[in-house]
Structure 1
Amino acid sequence: MTDRMMEKLNPFWKAVTILCAGLLLAFGYSVLLNVLTIAICLLLMLFFSRAKMSSLVKVLLPALLAAASLFMTGLLYSNDAGGETVRDFSLAVHMVGSVYSAVQLSTRVLAFAFLGMLFALTTRSEEFIGSLMHQCKVKPKFAYGILAAFHLMPHIGKEYQNAVLAFRTRGIHTGKLSLKPVSAALVNCIRWSENVAMAMESKGFDGDSERTFYHVTVVHWYDFVFLGAWMAFLVLGLLCFPW
């Protein structure tokens, strides 16, 4: 399966682009700019990447919940004295201007969420670690240590479940807030980390010797085009749509 545009971008420079875009977006309060950012991220993920729709929906659900919560907060508790007071079935009195504040808050959260999803769903963890070593000059033992810890994270939940079952087989009841299974799982995680450290040292990941790499991530011209396009879009958006 061939990679599309988003997968061909250098992961390090893609991360730099997303971080810079998030910083610029933090200075804007325009609903239109937030909506355009969401639309561009969605188009890039749907038509220019191999991102799965199921993964997109799973990540989007918590963001939609947070956006809905902030929308209701901005709608009910905004103090905008410039709006026109209206009454909705005599249940609540609020300002019309607070609707715009609520939309600002909700779309702002979604814009940041879509920027994060644009990076997370279009970047392979191995290539990102490789780009950190080659472009960011991170030492291999730290880079591969991060990658090993990332791949061990899904096993922590399984280890917790195994600890709960082990206590049950011995007739020990553990509640949902009990720390006994957590302690047992943490002990095993510490053992895993020691085993990973010893395995890395045995393979030469000591940080003192030069290593060769089977795959080296490189920077292409379109990485800078991607960075420049996002920066130009957001700067023009901040100038043209300040509110």
Structure 2
Amino acid sequence: MSILTPTKGAQAIYRINPVAKLATAFLLSFALILTIDWLSAATALVLESVLFAWAGLSARQFFLRTIPIWIAAPTAGFTTLLYGQSSGQSHFEFGLVHVTDGSISLAIATALRVLAIGLPAIVLFVTIDPTDLADGLAQVWHLPSRFVLGALAGLRLVGLFLDDWRSLELARRARGVGDRGRIRRVVSQAFALLVLSIRRGSKLATAMEARGFGGDTKRTWARESLVGWREVLLIGIGAVIAAASVVVAVAFGTWNFIV
């Protein structure tokens, strides 16, 4: 069995309050944004990799969900390698391209930094249920209920947008107008989807107003959003990883404060 195959214990992450996952992702990102050095990013990435086994995702789910990060990290590193700050010995130069010891070190740090920030963020966010997130934002962080419920309603419509796009495409093909001119077809379908979305949004807003979602009275919630030991443990793990990456970088002299 893969180390990333979800087990009964791993599924516990789905029961953790989403606001704790947001706080953990923020802690990890904040520590790595303060510096751009390879050691702090590598330290955080190694410690995070150990915890991915308990993320509740199979190996296939993990790599499919994180494909954008695996593409973005080497792309950012390669761009930095070619056009990053020049320092130290020069290895290659052509026009604006200048590869030096400094740009190589910066490229490695950039790629590792993207992985260390992006991978845990995606792993944490894919285990979040939108309704649970709305409950947490409103009850734990006390954000305005109108904003929270409006954002939740909009997020719930994303899946409908995809279904509408497929339906429009099939309808146009059935009428014989969707087989040629791909660019024109995409633009036309996008406009049709925009019109459909505005109409649906207006109907949804009217329905929500009729049901009292826009009232000034204090709202009650069907499910109580609680913060317990699981949430404290997750935030504590994030804080430890962030602190360890900073301490290791400072101790070995690679810390490069950029703020």
Counterpart contact for 1:10–1:219, Cα < 8 Å: yes
The match for 1:117 is 122
1:185 equivalenced with 2:193 (yes/no): yes
The total of aligned residue pairs comes to: 238
TM-score (ref. length: structure 1): 0.82
The match for 2:5 is none
Counterparts of 2:227 and 2:215, CA distance in 1 = 24
- Which deviates more from structure 2 when the two are superposed, residues 66-75 or residues 201-210? 201-210
The match for 1:89 is none
Counterparts of 1:2 and 1:38, CA distance in 2 = 23
Q: 1:86-125, CA deviations, whole angstroms, 9 ceiling, x for partnerless residues?
A: 8xxxxx9943443322211111111111131132123222
1:142 equivalenced with 2:147 (yes/no): yes
The match for 2:4 is none
Q: 1:166 to 1:85 in 2, by over 3 A?
A: closer
Counterparts of 2:110 and 2:242, CA distance in 1 = 18
SS at match of 2:182: coil
The match for 1:55 is 61
Unpaired segments of 5 or more residues in structure 1? 87-91
The match for 1:66 is 72
Counterpart contact for 1:42–1:114, Cα < 8 Å: no
Q: 2:52 aligns with which of 45, 49, 57?
A: 45
SS at match of 2:114: helix
Counterparts of 2:39 and 2:123, CA distance in 1 = 19
The match for 1:17 is 24
Query: Post-superposition shift, 1:130?
Result: 0.8
The match for 1:108 is 113
Counterpart contact for 1:6–1:44, Cα < 8 Å: no
Query: Post-superposition shift, 1:11?
Result: 1.5
SS at match of 1:101: helix
Query: Post-superposition shift, 1:241?
Result: 0.5
Query: Post-superposition shift, 1:211?
Result: 3.7
Q: 1:192 to 1:230 in 2, by over 3 A?
A: same
Counterpart contact for 1:59–1:117, Cα < 8 Å: yes
Unpaired segments of 5 or more residues in structure 2? 1-7, 255-259
Counterparts of 1:22 and 1:111, CA distance in 2 = 8
The match for 1:217 is 225
Counterparts of 1:139 and 1:184, CA distance in 2 = 33
Counterparts of 1:171 and 1:7, CA distance in 2 = 46
1:67-82 mapped onto 2 (5 Å cutoff): 67-82=73-88
The match for 1:129 is 134
Counterparts of 1:105 and 1:199, CA distance in 2 = 47
Same amino acid, percent of matched pairs = 22
Counterpart contact for 1:45–1:122, Cα < 8 Å: no
TM-score (ref. length: structure 2): 0.77
Query: Post-superposition shift, 1:63?
Result: 1.1
Give the counterpart letter for 1:77 in structure 2: Y
Counterparts of 2:177 and 2:123, CA distance in 1 = 46
